[in-house]
Structure formats: structure tokens, C-alpha cells
Amino acid sequence: MGCSSSTSVTTSSSPKPNPPAPVDLKDVTIWIDEARGDKRKAEEALVEIKKIRTEMQNKTIDIGESILSRLRRREKEKAELLNRLSSLASDRMRNQNANIADLSDTNRPTKLTERFSELYDNEWTDAFTSLRKEQNHDDQTAIKTLLFVLEKCYTKCKTIAEKQQKELGETFLSKEERKDQSFDLRVNECQKQIAEITYKDLQQNCENLIEDSAARKEDKDRNREYLKLEPVEKYCKLCIELTWLMCIQAPPIKLEFNHTKKAISKHFRHYTRSGDIPDFVVWPVLFLHDNGPVLSKGVIQFRASETSEQNKKKSATSPETKSEMNSENGSQKTQKQNKDGTETNFSENQIQETVDGTNHSDHSNHKSLDF
């Protein structure tokens, strides 16, 4: 009893906790608004930070790219200057020095030599065959006709190239630049850049070029007939292209259409006959430049040797030949003495045809070559 009463006394005497103070809703709303404002500011600050960081990264990238582009530009300029310096040094070495070739030039002398040989092997052969069949030329007349075409193309292109070189220098270069050592080479480069335009323009006037070289009207008419043959026209146009490219080299490639007795073995090979005495030139010699080395040998026809001529005379005066001639004469006499007029007339017609054929052959062999 005593213990329980003390316990109850103790419990009843302990202090009670204070109730919580009432919360004002306005304060809570204010706190929430402030928190939201702080959050918004924080987000805005974060966005600003990200923006600044992005801008800094972009500026860094731009600066880096700018530096790289400058370096690349400087390297490119340096390479161009080195190339120009190397090109200038190379040009000065090649200026009027044909022994040093520009391997990047597709129309350098060695390539032109190859094309010139192909011209003789292909287009010349076709044109020669066409003249023989269509114009009834003998071999020598056809050969001289084609050589004449090539020579006139070369002469004309050489004259025009020299005139063009002078006009280009006066038009595009000052007097001081014309005095420079590389003047010829610079003009030559200009000529090469417009080479295709120039020789194609000359090819359009191919007929006039050949006609103008003839003095008489009948010669002009004959030349016009030659050029109507497709193989001859093709040959003429290719002659113009190659001779023009040869004439604008620095120095120009030279074609030699004449021959000297001392240089025949060095500069020519025989055509169909070999010997000691030259008869006529078939194809010209190609020199790297005037007084330069031979790029391609020419072709020349030699006269028939005296031995072969003597053999022909011997065969003509041999007893067997004489007996054959006598037997033919006897048969003709017998036919003339025969009373049958048909056989006599036939024999006379044969003789007349033989005479006419001989005259025609002589006329073709002695056809005028006065172009």
C-alpha cells in the first residue's frame, strides 16, 4: 500500500510538456516562395554558368582553329613559295636548253618524236595508198606530194609561231620583263597553254594553207583535189598539229628536208633501195633543235645501182631476147601480109594500144610537181 501511494504521488507531480506554438500559414507561404525563388535563381545561375562555359569552349575552339588555319595557310604559302622557287630554278635551267626535259609535259620532244614516227607509219601510208589508187600517182609523185604537204605545214607553223611569240611578249609583258632571262620561257608557256586552240584554228584553214602555196591556178585546183581525199586531209591536219607543237618548243624542234652527202648515213635510212647516190627525200630528219642531235632519222630513196642497170641492158641485148624480138617481128610481118583484114586490124589496134599505154605511163611519171 505504501509503495503504490508514493508512485501515484510522483506521477501526479511531474510537469506536462508545452503544446507547440500555432504556425501561421502566411509564413509558410512566404518560406515556400523564397525557396522557389532561390531554386529559380540557382537554376538561372546554373544555366548562365553552362552558357559561359560553352562560350569559353567555343572561343577556345575558335582560337585553336584560327591558329591551326593560320599554320596551315603559312605552310601552304611556304610550299607554294618553295615550288615557285624550284620551278624558277628549273625554268632557268631549261631556258633554251633542250637537253633538260620537263617530264610533266605530255608534248615534250621525246613524245612528239614518237607521234611523228607514228604519223609516217600510219597516216602517211594511208595517204600514199589513196593517192596511188584515186589519183593514179606513181610512187615518186605520191611521195613528193606528201612531203610537200608536210614541208608547207612546217614552214607556215614556224612563221606563225614566231609572230605569235613576239605579239604575246609585247601584249602581256613590260619592257623590263622582256629583258629578263626567262622571257622566252614565259612566252613559250603561254603558247603551250593556247596551243590546242591555235593548231585547231590552223586545221580549219588546212585547204587554204596548201592552196596558197601554189602559184598557178591549175596547181591550186590540183591541190584542192588532193585534200578532198579523206586520208590526205587527215594526214595534213595531223601534220599541222605536230609541226605546231614542234615550233613552240624552247628551243624549237627542227625539220630538215634537204640532205648533204656527208650526213646521209648519219641522218637518213634507205627507203626501198640502198646505194651511194641519193635520188629524193621521202621523210625529213627530226632534230632536237637547230644544230642539235638527231631525234629521228629521215628516209631517203637511192638511185638504182649501175650494176642493176647494166644487168637490165645485158638482158635486153642477150641472144635469147633478140631471138624473141625477131620472132615477134616475124609474126607481125606475117599478119600484115595476110589477106585477112580482121587480123591485120587487130594487130594494128594492139600496137596502137601499146603506144597509148606507153604515153600514158610517161605522162604519169613526168607529172608536174610545181605546187
Exposed (0-12), middle (13-18) or buried (19+): which is 73, by Cβ within 10 Å? exposed
Q: How confident is the model at residue 144 (pLDDT cuts 50, 70, 90)?
A: very high
The pLDDT of residue 116 = 97
What tens digit of pLDDT does each residue of 212-240 get?
655 556 666 677 778 788 999 999 999 99
pLDDT tens-digit series, residues 300-349: 999 987 655 555 555 555 555 445 545 444 444 444 344 333 333 333 34
pTM score, whole prediction: 0.58
pLDDT band at 282 (very low <50, low <70, confident <90, very high): very high
Domain boundaries, the chain: 109-249, 253-310
What is the SS3 assignment for the chain? CHHHHHHHHHHHHCCCCCCCCCCCHHHHHHHHHHHHHHHHHHHHHHHHHHHHHHHHHHHHHHHHHHHHHHHHHHHHHHHHHHHHHHHHHHHHHHCCCCCCCCCCCCCCHHHHHHHHHHHHHCHHHHHHHHHHHHCCCCHHHHHHHHHHHHHHHHHHHHHHHHHHHHHHHHHHCCHHHHCCCCHHHHHHHHHHHCHHHHHHHHHHCHHHHHHCCCCCHHHHHHHHHHHCCHHHHHHHHHHHHHHHHHHCCCCCCEEECCCCCCCHHHHEEECCCCCCCEEEEEECEEECCCCCCEEECEEEEECCCHHHHHHHHHHHHCHHHHHHHHHHHHHHHHHHHCCCHHHHHHHHHHHHHHHHHHHHHHHHHCCCCCC
Q: What is the pLDDT of residue 78?
A: 83
Which position has the higher pLDDT, 367 or 163?
A: 163
2-15 tens-digit pLDDT: 444 444 444 455 66
